[in-house]
Structure 1
Amino acid sequence: MTTVAARAAWSAVVRAGQTLTLTDLKGNQAVDFLVYDALDTAVRYSAPDTIQAQGGIFLTTGSVLLSNEHTPLMTVVADEVGRHDTVGGACSKESNTLRYGHHTWSQHACVDNFLAEGARYGLGKRDLVSNVNWYMNVPVEQDGTLGIVDGLSSPGLRVTLRAERDVLVLVSNCPQINNPCNGFEPTPVELTVAGGA
């Protein structure tokens, strides 16, 4: 069990058959998430494959995170929230500046976390793909635009994934303070790897 501080990054290899549980300790905290085959990081999470296979853009119990080779990486085996985002992406200095103004350029962002954590495994910018946003509420509005609104989570709610092969997981405990995805105040989350041999 590891507590990941507000705005911080985390990574681990989760072995086939093990579970990874994310717990939103304070509620309303978005957790950005990438997953790669631990033995071949060219095989990585694919939002288009995952969305196409399940016929929808939200993840919940039973959703399978598929790779760019259309093979399973992880499966959501328990979900106390009910809906998680696949299309909102990760905040970056560039997107913050575009959306919220140049004064946000110096703010730490999820892309910074992914790059720093991924570098430990030889991953760089070209290895970043569209990510999952656990707990983040990104509804599709009537006109087709995406909203970023208050999260659906409450303190203590969990989502659990089972690794379908050995996977490398990168997490950014989202530092965003310019929209309500974290209630404008990022908080810690807890990550627990369990099971396996």
Structure 2
Amino acid sequence: MNTIPPRSGTAFVLKKGERLKITDIQGEQVSDFICFNLNDTKEYLSSGRTIDYAETIFLTKGNPFYSNRSNIMFEITEDTVGRHDFLLTPCSADTFRIIYGDENPHRGCFGNLCEALEPYGIEPDAIPICFNVFMNVSVDGDTGKISVLPPKSGPGDFIEIEAKMDLIVGMTACSAEMSNNYSFKPIGYSVDKTGIEL
């Protein structure tokens, strides 16, 4: 299993048919996940289209995830937690400045994704809302108020996704205090190539 250190990120290619397992190694740690079409990076993971077609904000096993062009990019095949977020943008230096009042803010998941995706020619303005794996966000049904709560994931919890096209994947071990119950931990991931048709 590969490890993403706390408050950092990585990027890699995930081919069609491969399965990616994302593991919360120690518990209560979020991973921001984003992907792009390997062959045309203007096609990217779309929160709006995925939620629209699923008719739910609580996406889990069996849900396909759509691109901005309404193509399926991947599907969740296993999920031991069942609560993730696809509403909130990656945390950034501005997040820590505006929400936390930090005078010398960390660059956040956004900055980590920018660095990790740069070798693939993906610029900062091209990074949209991420699928925030293990993030626990509640929405009040009457007021619409959003609350970021501690993740429901414990040590060893995971989700597994299967790529439905060749992807460039960006992932982080999230840098925001509220998202991770005020403790920063690593994220694990591994790729299973056995399902690929040769």
TM-score tier after normalising by the smaller chain length? over 0.9
Map residues 32-181 of structure 1 onto 2, 5 A cutoff. 32-103=32-103, 105-142=104-141, 143-177=143-177, 179=178, 181=179
Paired residue type of 1:130: I
* Alpha-carbon offset, residue 102 of structure 1: 3.9
* Alpha-carbon offset, residue 64 of structure 1: 1.0
Equivalents in 1 of 2:18, 2:111: separation in Å? Answer: 28
- Partner residue in 2 for 1:183: 181
* Alpha-carbon offset, residue 108 of structure 1: 3.2
Paired residue type of 2:52: Q
Q: Deviations over 1:7-60 (max 9, x none)?
A: 121111111100000010000001001011111110100000000000011210
Equivalents in 1 of 2:101, 2:165: separation in Å? Answer: 42
SS in 1 for 2:99: helix
Paired residue type of 2:78: A
Equivalents in 1 of 2:98, 2:43: separation in Å? Answer: 31
- Partner residue in 2 for 1:30: 30
SS in 2 for 1:13: strand
Runs of 4+ in 1 over 2 A off after TM superposition: none
What residue ranges of structure 2 are gaps of 5+ in the alignment?
none
Paired residue type of 1:150: P
* Most deviating of 93-102 and 145-154: 93-102
SS in 2 for 1:192: strand
CA contact (8 A) 2:172 2:187 kept: no
Q: Report how many residues are paired.
A: 194
* Alpha-carbon offset, residue 75 of structure 1: 0.3
Equivalents in 2 of 1:92, 1:164: separation in Å? Answer: 29
Q: Deviations over 1:69-109 (max 9, x none)?
A: 00000100000001210002210111221111142x43230
Paired residue type of 1:135: F
Aligned residues: CA RMSD: 1.1
* Alpha-carbon offset, residue 141 of structure 1: 1.8
